[in-house]
Structure 1
């Protein structure tokens, strides 16, 4: 296979996972630059909307396939059987989405991904909601609130001596916070993976 053919065939499958209601589908829409009503947008709602793994293609990252997984911890997808049911071994990378504090289910996902030795991001969504809530306090500092949320996300990871990328994002206020940083970081990592794949396919003599 030629180097060009290797580039054309290269795909990276990224699973977007987390508890039901964490905002996975909204995050995917924001990441793809889509509004909820746009054609091809991931369905969102107050009730469980994702019933099976659904693939979405990024308009500016042609090698990336995002998979919106059903939420963890529902009657349909219980915590104990979730990882096996979702076939985690099929994916190259993960986005673990949380909307409030880090919960036990989030760490169960992280533990499984770590066991599979696959890269992942921890993404805290609905940042705009938290900022709006905290703004009512007399001594409000947006920077302090963001730092506090980041520390909370990293607290349990540090206890396990883990240090993945952590992003604070809002699917509503996409121009602020770290959605662009998430996109740029993923773009860089995908480029690096392409280089590694091509090197393995065509090692230097």
Structure 2
């Protein structure tokens, strides 16, 4: 297998683009090669198979979509209250909007995991790890609510992200006067996170 790390990263990012645009069925080595602008056959030199490519896309997405450390440090200077949780969720929605392709690819990974048991196992482990990290972060930061608050917030934000990325106009007419998604982020946090 080829060992050029920059080329591998470029191919993985091209895989993210293909996955978001074409779905898992369109994720072929040939499509990745085309998206990366490399000769046909290049991706097959870097990945042992499609499952290997999907696992590496999973790892890359969790890195690519993580909060900016400096932005997070700035937010964490605030008082540990519901307003800080709302600011953290606004940061999340900002990242969703800024890297729509990455989040769509993440949603495609979820769908593909329902069809591929081997991917389901590794993807479940990575998502569970992210959620466990989020619960630990919440506790250690002294934010209001406990693990259950984090899980419910996670589920509510996942639904909001799904609507925002796939059918953004659905909620506009249902909730007149509520800014989508910013106003909904505020509502979700107000309902889920206890006032400390």
Q: Could you state the TM-score of these two structures normalised by the residue count of structure 2?
A: 0.29
Structure number, greater radius of gyration: 2
TM-score (norm 1): 0.28
Instruction: Answer 1 or 2: which has greater strand percent.
Output: 1
